[in-house]
Amino acid sequence: MAAIKNVFIVGAVCLTIANSALANNVGQSVQIPMKDEGLLWNSNINLEATLYKPEGEGPFPTVIFNHGSTGPNVIPEDHTINPWGFGEYLVNKNIALLIPMRRGRGQSEGSYKERYTCDPKGIEEGLDYAMQSLDASYDYLLNQPWVDKEKVLLTGNSRGGILSLAYASEHPDAFSGVINFSGGWVDDSCNNNNTSMNIPIFENAGSTFKAPALFIYGRSDSYYSDTTIESFARSYEKSGGNVDFKFYQLGKNVSGHDVFYKYGHLWSYVVDQYLTDIQFDVRP
């Protein structure tokens, strides 16, 4: 496993994956068709998504970004997640980004059934339900002529991070890699005998997905202890996964769970190298 990297902040906290000069570029809204399976009948619904695409016909390496959950009443279910600074960052590298909203989130149709539970069966059902939305999003990309089908990368934050790993484990030959920001399905309140309920997900992913994965976490995360986070990376690697684990110290009284949205100036250099290593940075 790569050595744990500690970084201390100098100066004020700011949203560094974006800047004011780019604030008007909020991406293109697209609709992703999905078949929503019900008990009595199936429904055809649409998922909301935001697309950032370089100019030209492509084909372009493409990233899917998977959002997190609503959290403890922090993020309204109808809020659309749009990390536009990440979109600009990737487009500048000639990489496309798709940010789908899963069923019942943002303006996506369907019901939100990823409720919080510590029950192992409920965790599995919630993860499976989320993967169905990701299935539709991936199918959408495969039908776009501008997508380089040989270069698709999964990324995600919080629940979206571990969802990316779980989905990659179901399709081990489909993706060039996974970037997991602060990934976990449940927090430490669900721990059983001091072991996170997320561990089986990491172990399964590590045993089946062999492409390079990048784990980016921050210390003093409000959902998982530092020890828990280290166990995520350790269990993934011990199960056979190829992981580069970066663990940042963000500052005093700062939640490590903010690392994706507020500390891009720390991890962008690592992601730069990762994208180069997997031959995603294809700027002319």
* Nearest alpha carbon to residue 186 among 205, 203, 201, 206: 201
Strand partners of residue 101: none
Distance in angstroms (rounded) separating the CA atoms of residues 247 and 234: 13
pLDDT for 108 equals 82
Q: Is 276 helix (H, G, I), strand (E, B) or coil?
A: helix
pLDDT for 2 equals 41
The torsion angles phi and psi of 205, rounded to 5 degrees, stand at: -65, -45
Distance in angstroms (rounded) separating the CA atoms of residues 65 and 87: 10
Joined together, the tokens standing for residue 274 give 């990762």
Distance in angstroms (rounded) separating the CA atoms of residues 23 and 4: 33
Report the half-sphere exposure of 16 (CA within 13 A, side-chain side): 17
Distance in angstroms (rounded) separating the CA atoms of residues 40 and 18: 45
Q: Is 190 helix (H, G, I), strand (E, B) or coil?
A: helix
pLDDT for 284 equals 61
Domain boundaries, the chain: 20-277
pLDDT in tens, 216-243: 999 999 999 999 999 999 999 999 999 9
pLDDT for 32 equals 95
Model confidence, pTM: 0.88
Give per-10-residue mean pLDDT for the chain (284 aa). 35 35 65 84 89 94 92 70 91 96 83 87 95 96 97 97 98 98 96 96 98 98 96 98 97 92 95 95 67
The single-letter DSSP state of residue 224 is S
pLDDT for 114 equals 83
Distance in angstroms (rounded) separating the CA atoms of residues 30 and 217: 30
The amino acid occupying position 94 is: N
Question: CA torsion 185→17→241→171, rounded to 10°?
Answer: 70
Domain 20-277's class? Answer: alpha beta
